[in-house]
Amino acid sequence: MKWTLTILFPVVLFLPPGSRPRLEDAAPRIVEHPSDLIVSKGEPATLNCKAEGRPTPMVEWYKDGERVETDREDPRSHRMLLPSGSLFFLRIVHGRRSKPDEGVYVCVARNYLGEAVSRNASLEVAILRDDFRQTPSDVVVAAGEPAVMECIPPRGHPEPTISWKRNNIRVNDRDERITIRGGKLMISNTRKSDAGMYVCVGTNMVGEKDSDPAELVVFERPVFTKQPVNQVVLADDTVDFFCEVHGDPTPTVRWRREEGELPRGRFEIRSDNSLRLTQVRAEDEGTYTCVSENSVGKAEASGTLQVHVPPQIVVRPRDQITAPGRTVTFLCGTKGNPPPAVFWQKEGSQILLFPIQEPSQAGRFSVSLSGELTITDVQVEDSGYYICQAISVAGSILTKALLEVESAPSDRVPPIIRQGPANHTLAPGSTAQLHCHIMGNPIPSIQWEKDGQRILGNDGRISLMENGTFQIINLQETDSGVYTCLASSSSGETSWSGVLTSADSSVAPATEPFQLPGPPHKPIVTDVSKNSVSLTWQPNAHEGGAAVTSYIIEAFSQSAGSTWQTVADMVKMETHTITGLLPNTIYLFIVRAVNAYGLSDPSPISEPVRTQDVSPTGQGVDHRQVQRELGEVAVQLQDPVSLTTASIRVSWTVDRQSQYVQGYRLFYRPSGATWLLQDINSPSERSTVLTSLLKGTEYEIKIRPYFDEFQGKDSRTLLVRTPEEVPSAPPRAVTVATVKLSNSSSISVSWEPPPSEMQNGIIQEYRVWCVGSGGDNQTRYYINKTVDGNTLATLLKGLMPGVLYQVEVAAVTSAGIGTRSQPVSVLISDGTGDTGEESSVSLAEQITDVVKQPAFIAGIGGACWVILMGFSVWIYCRRKKRKELSHYTASFAYTPAVGFPHGEGSGLNGRPGVLGGNMGNYPWLADSWPTTNLVHSGKEAVNCCTTNHDTAERYYNEAGISNYLNQTEKYSMGGSTEGPIYSTIDATSEDLHSFTYTQHTSTTPYASTSIMPYTNQTQPPALGGKPKQKAMGKAVKTPSLTWMEALPPPPPIGELEQCEQDDHLPDSDEEWCPPLPERTYLMEGCEDGPSPPQRNNASSPATSYSHQSTATLTPSPHEEPRAPHDLPRLNQLDSQQLSRYVNGSDHFSPSCTATA
């Protein structure tokens, strides 16, 4: 290194000539070498170095080959060479560009015998940057799982170490679950208590740096505290499956049914997450599972439901009429859960008939497994009522049917025409055959009619064949007409008609028998009432030449006539209910199929069926028994369920059955309206659907059982509301009108509700839209408003003149906003609003109405009173101000200054000013503010700040002026600016002892040398400069009475109104004013105060008035003491100018301009 070569020059060159080393002397030797250091910036540091030798060697330090400057060379240096030879740093200086203290150091010990060099020692500045290279991120884990948070600390020297804090508490890594390795925080088997805000802490000798906090969230998987259980309930009961679960975050709970969907409309998931099923049915049986899930896990628990349904009759046995020797079967279809046991009993007999029972009475009675009773070889004594009973653990039920044994009515049925004449169109001269195939017992006879007239057969072209076919040869046009086949016997008569047309047009081919559909199977009676019968049948597999399109049903009853009658046609399904029948009447039915080629043969005749009698005596019961049993039937109406906005499902249960229940009558109505009726003709039905209801309407519903004209008790009345929809019609009669007294900037909007049947619910509010468009068709103005549903008018304010507005109104229900009304336009002009018709009130009339209002009159009166009082106050203040200004006619302002003579007693260690001259021993005092205890010629300090600046009514008296003139020297306005302008004033003058002393606690702004208390007041800028903030100062204790304290105060600063305006004026006699204070910190007359003195800048106490600056009281450390004649002297007033201002001026307005 270069510096090693430099320091190895032989020291012997410096030995005095002829001198010789002494034996006891020794060359330097390093006994303590400096060590490497890493120090934080701004911290003190010491590089140790200890050397031995005789004479005592001198120690010097070198950094990177250059000699280190210490306080011995530069007292201001922050490096100090300690007596031991160690290098002490007051503070380590280290910046981005300048790093003066960092480097490789060696210490060199020298004496005349030589020198010794220590080992190298590096001084490095510790660094810890702010930004983490990787900050920890939020972590979410489930309890029991491991959690890892990663962190890379900021770059630093030495490399920072990593630690962690949770919620500002140091993480204890002694916990066996916690591991900190390579900046990673690893927690195994996390617990809920581990959650919190984690901060990664990077630490080295510079300090600590905290990363941004990261949150560790420890969630818990769902855990059931209460699980659903298996349940067995009765039908129509309500069942609850409970499911209570705990977890974090709070888990969601949902239910599912393993066998399908949950019962639609009959389940509810309650606030406690339990599942409630209402009106349970057998089909609701199954497994219900509670599924709980959150972000960290999922859990399931199940319970089964078994529904016991009381037995019900689903297929009621019907009354039958048969002939002796035949076989009859009574159906009795039942259902229930568990399936009920079915048995039969003849009324009045003690014999019970069960399924799979040994045949009784030669096997004529038997019961199948499905519950059907079959009686073979029916005898007359078998007539009577047969009772079917169904029983299970859930209950029991019974029904009965009547068997009548008499001559078979089918032997007396009228003839049946299997196939009758069809419509034909044939050419003249051809042969026409009209078929009529009949069957009956006895064999019926056949006759033909044309157009209602009997055909006699005297025409040789006409013949009747044995099979009943009617034939016409050599067809003529006169043969066209309607031909009817009449089949008659002792049992009755049947007819069938067809149209024959003779024309030259195209002839349609005749229908072949195989093209007709096959006859349906025998119709089965499924239900019977007093005036209706329900039939069902199976179609024939042979459809013919085309598909079957419909069915025709024919009926016969001896009570209704002696012929077959068509009671239903165009029947599309294989089941149909024939209505309009006579009560207590036996009917027979046949069914025909229809396709494009014609009708099929008739089906086999149905079993005779008797409609129910109007009176209960038709079944052998009396009125009292029917009324008593109906009165005991209790029908319980269940809560109705809304299916759609216009339909409701109504369900009920029957607590006690009765054989005298033909059905139920359901009454319903909108609340307060007339009752409406719907009949349920099947006594086994337990629900029905009401349709075509009003939307959003509350209905009353009740039900009662009936038997013919007898009716049972009403159930309780329930209320149900259909779901609401948005109104399907807009509000009616929407009108818009301008409003008086608003200069047409407000409009009134009124309307009528939509029609009640189209409101679709309760109107909760109305929405009013008012949209305006500007002249450019681009600017839009929106004034929208919402009012209560009971309000039918509103006022819209703040409309813009000259804007065309369109107003729309819509009704709102809970389902949403309905249809808007048609827009109503209104133009807001500067005068009146135009709604399609002129306003009836003119502008002048509106203004007149406003002026007559009491509020307007009171407002005008109040305003006048306020103006009058304000004017009076202004006049009073103006007069008072003028009166105050008149006192200033002979006043003037002056500023005494105090000089500081140099001498032994004038400061610390004889230094001029307030600091001593030996500042090198106190380098840390260089930036200190000077003391306020000023000493003047060994006497007490002079205080020039005892006058209260708030005392504005103080004046200078003649004695003060006289004494002032005696103490000052003659001053010339044209004098050199280099001459003294301030003089030292002898405070011990006898002329000043006559003044009385009054102590003031506050500080006057005209203090010249005292340091003022700190204020945050700005100062006026110098020429071309900017305002600066004022420095701080300290208050001066009030000393003993001096002549400056006895002088009256100057006039208020507020009178110096021309300070800022006169800075640019030249010096002139006419504009002369007494000098401003040497140091002023409170300037009420100017917006800015004087600039404070700058450190280390020499400034004269006699500053330029144009700059409004002050003299510093803190001399520079290198400032030399000045001679007494260099101290500033007080400017002396020109007596002529003074007298002129005192005697001739009405107002003293000093200028702020003076010669620099």
Mean pLDDT of the chain: 75
How far is 767 from 535, CA to CA, in rounded Å?
Answer: 57
> Cβ–Cβ contacts within 10 Å for residue 1026, how many?
8
Q: Averaged over 730-759, what is the pLDDT?
A: 82
How far is 1140 from 1134, CA to CA, in rounded Å?
Answer: 10
What are the DSSP calls for 984-1010, one per residue?
Answer: ---TT-GGGTTS-----SSPPTT-SSS
What is the number of helices (H) and of strands (E) in the chain?
7, 74
Predicted pLDDT at 395: 84
Predicted pLDDT at 20: 64
Cβ-count burial 179-210 (b if 16+ within 10 Å, e if not): ebeebbbebeebeeebbbebbbbbebebeebe
- Lowest mean pLDDT of 321-325, 517-521, 564-568, name the range: 321-325
> Cβ–Cβ contacts within 10 Å for residue 146, how many?
12
Spatial CB neighbours of 412, under 8 Å, sequence gap ≥ 6: 491, 558
Q: What fold does the segment set 434-497 form as a domain? A: Immunoglobulin-like (2.60.40)
How far is 984 from 1129, CA to CA, in rounded Å?
Answer: 6
- Where does residue 712 fall: left (phi above 0), alpha (psi -120 to 50 degrees), or beta otherwise? beta
Class of domain 732-842 as given by CATH: mainly beta
pLDDT tier at 622, thresholds 50, 70, 90: low
Please tell me which of 498-502, 600-604, 769-773, 929-933 the model is most confident about, judged by mean pLDDT: 600-604
Strand partners, 162: 202
The residues spanned by each domain of the chain are 2-125, 135-218, 227-307, 325-333+361-406, 434-497, 506-614, 620-721, 732-842, 941-1119+1127-1156
Q: What are phi and psi of 859, to 5 degrees?
A: -65, -45
Please tell me which of 95-99, 614-618, 698-702 the model is most confident about, judged by mean pLDDT: 698-702
Percent of the chain topping pLDDT 70: 70
How would CATH label the architecture of 325-333+361-406?
Sandwich (2.60)
Predicted pLDDT at 741: 53
Predicted pLDDT at 624: 64
Q: Contact at 8 Å (CB) between 151 and 211?
A: yes
How far is 182 from 180, CA to CA, in rounded Å?
Answer: 7
Class of domain 227-307 as given by CATH: mainly beta
Q: Which two tokens stand for residue 204?
A: 């080295």
Nearest to 214 by CA among 154, 149, 271: 149
Alpha helix ranges (H) inside 13-123: none
CATH number of 135-218: 2.60.40.10
Strands of 352-480 (E only): list them: 352-353, 365-367, 373-375, 384-392, 395-405, 416-419, 424-426, 432-434, 437-439, 445-450, 453-454, 462-464, 470-472
How far is 659 from 710, CA to CA, in rounded Å?
Answer: 13
How far is 1073 from 1151, CA to CA, in rounded Å?
Answer: 6
How far is 1154 from 1059, CA to CA, in rounded Å?
Answer: 12
Q: Regarding predicted confidence, which is higher, 807 or 409?
A: 807
Class of domain 2-125 as given by CATH: mainly beta
Please tell me which of 395-409, 463-477, 1089-1103 the model is most confident about, judged by mean pLDDT: 463-477
Predicted pLDDT at 360: 56
Q: Which two tokens stand for residue 19?
A: 């001198």
- Give 662's Cβ-side CA count (13 Å radius): 23
Res 737 pLDDT > 80: yes
pLDDT tier at 1031, thresholds 50, 70, 90: very low
pLDDT tier at 831, thresholds 50, 70, 90: low
Q: How far is CA 826 from CA 771, 775, 805, in A?
A: 10, 14, 5
pLDDT tier at 1048, thresholds 50, 70, 90: low
CA angle 1047, 1070, 1147 (to 5 degrees): 55
Percent of the chain topping pLDDT 90: 27
How would CATH label the architecture of 506-614?
Sandwich (2.60)
Reported as a single tens digit per residue, the pLDDT across 949-960 is: 443 334 344 444
How far is 87 from 68, CA to CA, in rounded Å?
Answer: 9
Predicted pLDDT at 1103: 36
Q: How far is CA 441 from CA 102, 490, 592, 601, 603, in A?
A: 137, 9, 20, 17, 17
How far is 227 from 244, CA to CA, in rounded Å?
Answer: 7
Res 244 pLDDT > 90: yes
**Is 135-218 in the same CATH topology as 2-125?**
yes
As to burial, measured by CB atoms within 10 angstroms (0-12 exposed, 13-18 middle, 19+ buried), residue 332 is buried
Report the greatest alpha carbon distance in the chain: 194
Res 10 pLDDT > 70: no
Q: Which two tokens stand for residue 279?
A: 């009106």
CA dihedral for 1130, 1134, 1135, 1138, sign (positive or negative): negative
Reported as a single tens digit per residue, the pLDDT across 1123-1145 is: 444 444 434 444 444 444 444 44
Model confidence, pTM = 0.35
Res 151 pLDDT > 50: yes
Q: Averaged over 364-390, what is the pLDDT?
A: 90
> Cβ–Cβ contacts within 10 Å for residue 944, how many?
25
How far is 185 from 200, CA to CA, in rounded Å?
Answer: 9
Res 901 pLDDT > 70: no
Q: Contact at 8 Å (CB) between 502 and 481?
A: no
> Residues 415-418: contacts with CB within 8 Å, 24+ apart?
415/439, 415/440, 415/444, 415/487, 415/488, 415/489, 415/491, 415/492, 415/493, 415/494, 416/440, 416/487, 416/494, 416/564, 416/590, 416/602, 417/485, 417/487, 417/494, 417/495, 417/496, 418/601, 418/602
How would CATH label the architecture of 620-721?
Sandwich (2.60)
Res 579 pLDDT > 80: yes
